[in-house]
Amino acid sequence: MSATYIQDEAEFDTLLENESLLVVDCTASWCGPCRLVAPLIDRLAEDYRDRAKVFKLDLDANKAVAKRFGIRSIPAVMIFKQGELAETVIGAKPYEEFSGALDKYTD
């Protein structure tokens, strides 16, 4: 199981409204560190599939979302709880850092 891409801001907003715990990996095809993080995000999607929804967002195609949340460097993994941004993990980090951040918001 891998994290799927959010197509546009409308889909992003729908997910925000409907998912109690949402993880969004802000990425871009030209970003080297993003490629390191990608398999970790897929693993997160698998490990947390019963507790959270994990997606990827191509920032080149979704500049409005990046602007809205002030994303200036990627990879940036945003965690939303009940539609509110709870935490953002910036940079290529080990898996434990992403899962540890997510654990704080899972019941």
Positions annotated as catalytic residues are 31, 34
- Phi/psi for 88 (5° steps) reads -130, 125
Q: In this structure, is the dihedral angle defined by the CA atoms of residues 25, 29, 32 and 35, taken in order, positive or negative?
A: positive
Rounded Cα–Cα distance for residues 60 and 21 (Å): 24
